[in-house]
């Protein structure tokens, strides 16, 4: 049985296969609309995320399946002190596949270790959100026809933005990709991300100037800058407008550039940009539904495949990351791999 | 593509058509139970309303469709600051039709302006609730066989009760209807409503005496009187029992009168009245499900029709109604029509 | 029309029939997966209970039916002051069967009195939870092949644990059953329960020593001991580990013993026990789904049968149990039977 916890659980070939399936669903939805008849998806959302939850639910329904779940933690047994792993185990007796979101890092992996059905990580704290990355890749392929030989701009909060880190990791596996990261000094990409790019020989340039970077970009991936990330509010006030995409700035961009955003946006893309044909973020969101359909089909078809979970060795002590699932779920086996906690990947 | 934002978006002929369809569904449910197969309804309830939400969900299911949604705002991206219009846009990529409830006036119209699928207003603050009016009209037709030549009593809070205002507007389009409004002085119909009736030549009488009015009524439409509407609690205490319908008062009414209520009731109709065959409010609620089925079928069938949204001209300034959706959704175009905000109909 | 409010609403023969159906569903699920097509279950959960709610929802879906509902009270009209009985009445116009959970005792009976469709009690405060008992009985029959001639250990909080009281009542109807109750002094079975066993001639032994009792047990039914049940926290601290089942204690048990738990567990069964083949609590939870499927089929099939609700006579005054539904729902008829409130069974 396979799960999807981290985007690297899938090979490039598998991701291509998922995109091919998704494209075929777009072209021939009637061929897929009874494929999951008599199957059930459980959405276990221990923190709310409307867009992601509805995307999974719509995906399962468009495959002819049914959906049950916990729309948010307050309606769950968590209030009675039940462990999340027990909840996942029990729910796997009620559904054929689980999509799970949780505020703690490593939660989906912990659930997968206990569940009897495939678990899809729909976001575990600031750690992973692999179906967002699948959504992003499919959007680029649909908008531009390829994932190779592209200059990809990443704009906004690059320090804390997990979707950005995950997209870099995924696109680094394609030839000819150049990254341009655009952010204020305070929110630059973490050193370990830039070091990994350098080591892998991926061209990368950093700038604080969105307008200057725009003309060369094939893709502009926007993210939100949050006021609370800045120690000095005055710095935020001075900087914020530079990272707001508006119709003026769009005039600097190529005719073929596409603008992506993981959504929800707040004010980092002006609503007037929505009418620009290069604004692809709403199409991107719909595409995410098709990728989730492809993923559900794949995982249900591979129920008999060997488990895809990482194997670890006993860790010498409990992980010290305060947001690691092992801080709360006391019964989880404490495991490490390559010196890192297998749940949250923090150095032990 | 058509939406239903305000009851006046539908002509009298269209409402008659919806009632004919609803009656046919009641008679032959098996003809309809697969009509929306492979279709999805999204219920976006930014404030809770069990009865309305379940009525829509049951309606879609009895048409063979599926339902997804946001049962209440706390589980939505609203907590992350996403605009309601963006949510509606994204959800329209996941569903074929949207039923939306929101605490702010004009919210459904704003959503319809952005969505790619039909939007049904399931209540926008104190402004409109057109499917309630459809429910009320169908109830009267089912109970009494006609919508013409009726004396309609309206009792309770007629000042703030939007369902009452909307029912008056809808029934004023039928010949031979007389209204008797029954309320304490503090909660009389607003002047603009009585003025409109006078201008249209609709017979109308006001009284504070429910018992005195009862004998002449064909329909008694009850609504709740809330304590907090009264500046002086003593006045509320003195008045409240006069507007509670009980078995004693029912003895004064015609044998053929029907009692309606938009529900939920609190104590304005004594539970002992439920056993009276003239108590039609629970049948009314079930009828609402059939009207919603008819409406869903109509809007899905008219996906190709021209948009039914009001066209406005630029407004000179933001609407000053503090409950208008434009106060919160900063990006909405500010539009007026006939000197009123197109969203909440407040005079600009 | 029949309802299931209390486990004693079902005869031993009927329970056997339900277990036969459940076993047949396990063996031939494909024979059942369209049996409730075009039917709807409403889950009215006025307090959260993930496991129970999802079990009902999965049950209905595996019968081909659809589900709508109130996942928790905060999203209901209860906030507007609507009576629970009115909600049940209205919802019975939207669904074919209702599963209801409520924090007050007697709530399901009160709802059944008003609803037009069968009502299943999914837990009414500390009073009844009959589908849990059906789940427990089915688990024992599946694990051990019989419900007769068994020594059943009941461990933990036997004073407040309604599932335990209900299981005793249900198993007392089978021949050859011996009960061993294992609890601290503070949490012994209530006198009225032990008195009933003595009167019926059911062998029963009490002990505070779990390890000592284990070797003779065929079934060990574990429940949670809550710190707040103890007046003196020191007593709790001294006792708690004695009632935690771990792999060491399991060595004392028969090879054929099965461990049950109504779930959720907190720490009264160590997670290492999960790997023991005698740990049956997760299988028990899945079995509950099949029993609920059998129950839904039975109640829908018996829509024309006479009502199974208890008939009472007028009570001289309102029930004094502060957790009785009549304390909140003022309009309910006040009825007694054999000197007890028909809703909560407290002595009037």
Give residue ranges of C with CB < 8 Å to any A CB. Answer: 33, 45, 48-51, 54-55, 57-58, 61-62, 66-67, 71-72, 263-266, 270-271, 282, 285-286, 289
CA dist A223 to A155, A159, A163, A226, B102, Å? 6, 11, 9, 10, 28
The answer on pLDDT for C315 being more than 70 is yes
Chain C positions touching B266 (Cβ under 8 A) are 80-82
The closest of A137, A135, A62, A73 to A100, measured between CA atoms, is A73
| pLDDT confidence of residue C81 | 66
The answer on pLDDT for A76 being more than 50 is no
The answer on pLDDT for C305 being more than 50 is yes
Cα torsion angle, B9, B83, A6, A174, sign? positive
Residue A342 · residue A310 · CB < 8 Å: yes
CA B318 to chain centre: 27
| pLDDT confidence of residue C343 | 94
Report the pLDDT averaged over residues A55-65.
98
The answer on pLDDT for A226 being more than 90 is no
CA A218 to chain centre: 21
| pLDDT confidence of residue B80 | 56
Name the segment(s) of chain A with CATH classification 3.40.50.1370.
Answer: 7-130+287-341, 131-284
The answer on pLDDT for C219 being more than 80 is yes
Nearest neighbour of C93 by CB, restricted to B50, B67, B286: B286
Residue C171 · residue C147 · CB < 8 Å: yes
Nearest neighbour of C50 by CB, restricted to A66, A70, A331: A70
* Prior bond of C264 cis (ω within 30°): yes
Which numeric CATH code is attached to C131-285? 3.40.50.1370
Which numeric CATH code is attached to B131-286? 3.40.50.1370
Chain A positions touching B89 (Cβ under 8 A) are 282
Measured distance CA(B97)–CA(B299) in Å, rounded: 8
Q: What is the pLDDT of residues C11-60, one digit of tens each?
A: 999 999 999 999 999 999 999 999 999 999 999 999 888 899 999 999 99
Which range among B288-292, C17-21, C42-46, C215-219 shows the weakest confidence by mean pLDDT?
Answer: C42-46
Report the pLDDT averaged over residues B196-221.
96
Measured distance CA(A296)–CA(B248) in Å, rounded: 62
Tokens for B71, please give them.
């049962």
CA A261 to chain centre: 12
Choosing among 3.40.50.450, 3.40.1360.10, 3.30.70.660, 3.40.50.1370, the CATH entry for A131-284 is 3.40.50.1370
Angle at C342 between CA C337 and CA C348, to 5 degrees: 70
ipTM, two decimals: 0.92
Neighbouring residues of C175: CB distance < 8 A, sequence distance ≥ 6: C148, C149
Name the segment(s) of chain B with CATH classification 3.40.50.1370.
Answer: 7-129+288-341, 131-286
Which numeric CATH code is attached to B7-129+288-341? 3.40.50.1370
| pLDDT confidence of residue A276 | 98
Chain A residue with minimum CA distance to C57: A68
Residue with tokens 């906030």: C79
Which range among A16-30, A54-68, B297-311, C188-202 shows the weakest confidence by mean pLDDT?
Answer: B297-311
Nearest neighbour of C286 by CB, restricted to A66, A85, A93: A93
Which range among A182-186, B55-59, B206-210 shows the weakest confidence by mean pLDDT?
Answer: A182-186
Report the pLDDT averaged over residues A184-196.
92
Q: What is the pLDDT of residues C109-153, one digit of tens each?
A: 999 999 999 999 999 988 899 999 999 999 999 999 999 999 999
| pLDDT confidence of residue B75 | 42
Nearest neighbour of A54 by CB, restricted to B68, B79, B86: B68
Are the Cβ atoms of A57 and B94 closer than 8 angstroms? yes
Q: What is the pLDDT of residues B32-65, one digit of tens each?
A: 999 999 999 999 999 888 889 999 999 999 999 9
Which range among B279-288, C176-185, C275-284, C300-309 shows the weakest confidence by mean pLDDT?
Answer: C300-309
Measured distance CA(B62)–CA(B30) in Å, rounded: 9
Residue A104 · residue A125 · CB < 8 Å: yes
Neighbouring residues of A24: CB distance < 8 A, sequence distance ≥ 6: A31
CA dist A88 to A95, A102, A121, A327, C277, Å? 10, 12, 12, 18, 19
| pLDDT confidence of residue A229 | 75
The answer on pLDDT for B211 being more than 90 is yes
Chain A residue with minimum CA distance to C281: A90
Report the pLDDT averaged over residues A28-44.
97
Q: What is the pLDDT of residues B217-269, one digit of tens each?
A: 999 999 988 777 777 888 888 877 789 999 999 999 999 999 999 998 888 99
Measured distance CA(B49)–CA(C80) in Å, rounded: 9
Measured distance CA(C328)–CA(A142) in Å, rounded: 58
pLDDT, averaged across chain A = 92
Sheet holding B219-222, edge to edge: B204-207, B178-182, B151-155, B219-222, B258-260
Q: How far is B117 from chain C (nearest CA, A)?
A: 23
Q: What is the pLDDT of residues B152-175, one digit of tens each?
A: 999 999 998 889 999 999 999 999
* Prior bond of C168 cis (ω within 30°): no
Q: What is the pLDDT of residues B68-113, one digit of tens each?
A: 988 765 544 455 567 888 999 999 999 999 999 999 999 999 999 9
Chain B positions touching A265 (Cβ under 8 A) are 82, 86
- Report residue A75's pLDDT band, with 50, 70 and 90 as the boundaries: very low
Q: Which of C64, C88, C93 should we substitute to test contact with B (largest number of B Cβ atoms within 10 Å)?
A: C93
Which range among A40-44, A238-242, C177-181 shows the weakest confidence by mean pLDDT?
Answer: A238-242
Measured distance CA(B87)–CA(C329) in Å, rounded: 38
End-to-end CA distance of chain B: 28
Residue with tokens 């056997």: C16
* Prior bond of B127 cis (ω within 30°): no
Pairing between β-strand A97-102 and β-strand A40-45 as defined by DSSP bridges = parallel
Name the segment(s) of chain C with CATH classification 3.40.50.1370.
Answer: 7-128+287-341, 131-285
Residue A273, H or E segment? none
**Three-state SS across chain C?**
CCCECCHHHCCHHHHHHHHHHHHHHHHCHHHCCCCCCCCEEEEEECCCCHHHHHHHHHHHHHCCCEEEEECCHHHCHHHHCCCHHHHHHHHCCCCCEEEEEECCECHHHHHHHHCCCCEEEEEECCCCCHHHHHHHHHHHHHHHCCCCCCEEEEECCCCCCHHHHHHHHHHCCCCCCEEEEECCHHHCCCHHHHHHHHHHCCCEEEECCHHHHHHHCCEEEECCCCHHHCCCHHHHHHHHHHHCECHHHHCCCCCCCEEECCCCCCCCECHHHHHCCCECHHHHHHHHHHHHHHHHHHHHHCCCCCCCCCCCEECCCCCCCCCEHHHCCCCCCCEEECCEECCCCCEC
| pLDDT confidence of residue B229 | 75
The answer on pLDDT for A6 being more than 90 is yes
| pLDDT confidence of residue C76 | 46
| pLDDT confidence of residue C304 | 80
Chain C positions touching A45 (Cβ under 8 A) are none
Q: Which CATH architecture fits A7-130+287-341?
A: 3-Layer(aba) Sandwich (3.40)
Measured distance CA(A323)–CA(B261) in Å, rounded: 51
For the beta carbon of residue A273, count every other beta carbon within 10 angstroms: 20
Chain B residue with minimum CA distance to A282: B90
Q: What are phi and psi of A67, to 5 degrees?
A: -135, 135
Q: Which CATH architecture fits C7-128+287-341?
A: 3-Layer(aba) Sandwich (3.40)
Q: Which of A76, A84, A96, A110 should we substitute to test contact with C (largest number of C Cβ atoms within 10 Å)?
A: A76
Residue A310 · residue A107 · CB < 8 Å: no
Residue C85 · residue C114 · CB < 8 Å: yes
Q: What is the pLDDT of residues B113-147, one digit of tens each?
A: 999 999 999 999 888 999 999 999 999 999 999 99
CA dist B205 to B121, B146, B170, B216, Å? 31, 22, 18, 12
Measured distance CA(B9)–CA(B295) in Å, rounded: 12
| pLDDT confidence of residue A165 | 92
């Amino acid at each position: 049985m396979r799960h999807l916890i981290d985007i690297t659980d899938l090979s490039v070939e598998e991701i291509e296969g998922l995109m091919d399936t998704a494209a075929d669903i777009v072209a021939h939805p009637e061929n897929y609309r009874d494929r999951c008849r008599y199957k059930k998806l459980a959405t276990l959302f221990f923190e709310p995320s409307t867009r992601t939850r509805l995307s999974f639910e719509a995906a399962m329904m468009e495959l002819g399946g049914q959906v049950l779940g916990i729309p948010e933690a307050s309606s769950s047994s968590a209030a009675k002190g039940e462990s999340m792993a027990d909840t996942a185990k029990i729910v796997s007796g009620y559904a054929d596949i689980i999509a799970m979101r949780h505020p703690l890092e490593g939660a989906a992996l912990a659930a997968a270790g206990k569940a009897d059905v495939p678990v899809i990580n729909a976001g575990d704290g600031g750690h992973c959100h692999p179906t967002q990355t699948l959504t992003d890749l499919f959007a680029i392929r649909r908008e531009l026809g390829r994932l190779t030989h592209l200059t990809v701009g990443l704009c906004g909060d690059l320090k804390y933005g997990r979707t950005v880190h995950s997209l870099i990791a995924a696109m680094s596996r394609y030839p000819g990709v150049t990254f341009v990261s655009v952010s204020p000094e305070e929110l630059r990409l973490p050193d370990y991300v830039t070091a990994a790019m350098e080591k892998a020989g991926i061209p990368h340039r950093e700038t604080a100037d969105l307008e200057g970077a725009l003309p060369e970009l094939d893709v502009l991936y926007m993210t939100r800058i949050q006021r609370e990330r800045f120690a000095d509010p005055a710095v935020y006030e001075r900087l914020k407008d530079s990272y707001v995409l508006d119709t003026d700035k769009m005039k600097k961009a190529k005719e073929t550039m596409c603008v992506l955003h993981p959504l929800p946006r707040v004010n980092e893309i002006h609503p007037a940009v929505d009418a620009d044909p290069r604004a692809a973020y709403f199409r991107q969101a719909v595409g995410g539904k098709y990728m989730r359909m492809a993923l559900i089909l794949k995982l249900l078809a591979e129920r008999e495949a060997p488990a895809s979970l990482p194997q670890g060795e006993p860790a010498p002590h409990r992980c010290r990351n305060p947001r690691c699932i092992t801080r709360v779920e006391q019964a989880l086996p404490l495991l490490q791999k390559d010196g890192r906690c297998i749940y949250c990947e923090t150095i032990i």
